[in-house]
């Protein structure tokens, strides 16, 4: 069975976007961080995206700027299979992208039950919250950024029942970022 993980940035005060949906504060042009991101993106797997995250990523990663700036990451992300959950997107122009229009939790249960590559959700806060609520996420990789946003959206907006998680790894970087890796406490 494929594993479903999340890789997302949050500010020190717990927001994954500001009130305008911006998360440019998470960007860091830092050699140590860039090497980590390139290594993390080099594995096999499928990306899981919502419509807004898809639009944002598809407008950047296939561009010459992305390929020149972060060639290893851009090449990996462009080549990876991408699953986009959207009721409004007709077709996806970005290579290796499949649009899924079915009900999110039903589709994810189906994908997790079938043989296939592991899946990683990037961005897509409403998808993270819905799948966390249903206990369908196997691992959370949360990058805490040394910035205070003040207001915005939390990654787990609307989640009830306080899902218990256990920390299995923590790694800090010289730029102040900290990656925390959690799994469900029952795992």
What's residue 175's pLDDT?
A: 95
The class that CATH gives domain 4-184 is alpha beta
64 bridge partner residues: none
Give the model's confidence band at 106: pLDDT under 50 very low, under 70 low, under 90 confident, else very high. Answer: very high
**SS3 state of residue 67:** helix
- CA–CA distances in Å: residue 99 to residues 78, 106, 133, 147: 16, 15, 23, 34
DSSP string covering 70-119, please?
Answer: SHHHHHHHHHS-EEEE-SS-----STTEEEE-S-HHHHHHHHHHSS---E
Query: With 90 as the cut, is the pLDDT of residue 11 above it?
Result: yes
Q: Average pLDDT, stretch 74-92? A: 92
- Residue 185 has a pLDDT of 92
* Predicted pLDDT of residue 115: 95
Report the distance separating Cα 72 and Cα 38, nearest Å: 6
pLDDT band at 70 (very low <50, low <70, confident <90, very high): confident
Distance of alpha carbon 152 from alpha carbon 28, whole angstroms: 20
Res 62: pLDDT = 95
* Mean pLDDT rounded to a whole number for the chain: 92
b/e per residue, 28-42, with b = 16+ CB within 10 A? beeeebbebbbeebe
- What pLDDT shows up at residue 100? 95
pLDDT, position 173 = 96
Angle at 178 between CA 16 and CA 45, to 5 degrees: 70
- 39-50 pLDDT, tens digit per residue, is 877 778 999 999
Give just the sign of the alpha carbon dihedral 55, 58, 64, 68: positive
pLDDT of residue 181 exceeding 90, the answer is yes
Residue with tokens 């691992």: 139
77 pLDDT higher than 80:
yes
Residue 29: band (very low, low, confident or very high) from pLDDT cuts 50, 70, 90: confident
Q: What is the pTM of this model?
A: 0.91
Which sequence spans correspond to the domains of the chain?
4-184
The label of the residue with tokens 């960007």 reads 27
**Is the Cα torsion angle 10, 93, 2, 77 positive or negative in sign?**
negative
What is the DSSP code (8-state) at residue 62? T
pLDDT in tens, 111-153: 999 999 999 999 888 999 999 999 999 999 999 999 999 999 9
């Amino acid at each position: 069975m494929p594993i479903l993980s999340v890789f997302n940035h949050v500010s020190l005060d717990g927001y994954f976007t500001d009130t305008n949906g911006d998360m440019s504060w998470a960007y860091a042009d830092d050699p140590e961080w860039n090497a980590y991101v390139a290594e993390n993106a080099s594995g096999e797997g499928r990306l899981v995206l919502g419509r807004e995250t898809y639009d944002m990523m598809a407008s950047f990663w296939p561009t010459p700027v992305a390929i020149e700036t972060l060639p290893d990451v851009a090449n990996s992300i462009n080549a990876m299979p991408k699953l986009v959950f959207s009721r409004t997107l007709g077709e996806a122009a970005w290579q290796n992208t499949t649009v899924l229009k079915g009900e999110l939790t039903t589709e994810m249960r189906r994908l997790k039950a079938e043989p296939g590559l592991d899946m990683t959700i990037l961005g897509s806060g409403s998808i993270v919250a819905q799948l966390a609520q249903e206990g369908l996420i196997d691992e959370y990789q949360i990058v805490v950024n040394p910035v205070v946003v003040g207001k915005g959206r939390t990654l787990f907006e609307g989640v009830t029942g306080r899902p218990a998680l256990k920390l299995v790894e923590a790694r800090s970087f010289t730029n102040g970022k900290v990656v925390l890796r959690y799994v469900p406490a029952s795992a």
